[in-house]
Amino acid sequence: MEKYTTFNEEFNQLDPERQERIKIRAAEIELEELTLKRLGEKLGFSSSELAECLEKQKTTVSQLESVQNLELNTLRNVVNALEGTIEIIIRIPHKEPVILSDFPR
């Protein structure tokens, strides 16, 4: 019987630089796919609760939830309404990471 390897086994055989590039791209894809609906789900908020925090009608929040990609300003408004903060880490190969946080309005 043929032995199969797991993703982790294959991934761990890659050189560390390649692993890092894969992790960075995976994070980019997740950010690209971030929607208000997914954000609410991850934080455990319903549409109604988000609408209340944002002081918006539920129909407005439902429309925002259907948008495929959130603009940074929209995301910032949502996070601020939830009394949270945003931190973005920029990683470029062979450079120190740059951390952006507390974006001014």
CATH assignment of the domain containing 76:
1.10.260
Phi and psi at residue 90, to the nearest 5°:
-100, 120
1 within some domain: no
Q: Are the beta carbons of 42 and 12 closer than 8 angstroms?
A: no
Which domain covers residue 28, as residue numbers? 7-101
Q: For residues 15 and 90, which has the higher predicted lDDT (pLDDT)? A: 15
Is the pLDDT at 75 greater than 60, yes or no? yes
Query: How would you label 67-78 residue by residue, b for 16+ Cβ within 10 Å and e otherwise?
Result: eeebeeeebbbb
Tokens 């993703």 — which residue? 7
Cα 34 from Cα 70, distance rounded (Å): 7
More confident residue, 19 or 45: 19
pLDDT score recorded for residue 17: 92
Does some domain include residue 12? Answer: yes
pLDDT score of 13 more than 90: yes
Domain assignment present for residue 2? The answer is: no
pLDDT at 12 > cutoff 60: yes
User: Rounded to the nearest 5°, which phi and psi values hold at 4?
Assistant: -100, 150
**Where does the pLDDT of residue 102 fall: very low under 50, low under 70, confident under 90, or very high at 90 and above?**
low
Q: How many structural domains does the chain have?
A: 1
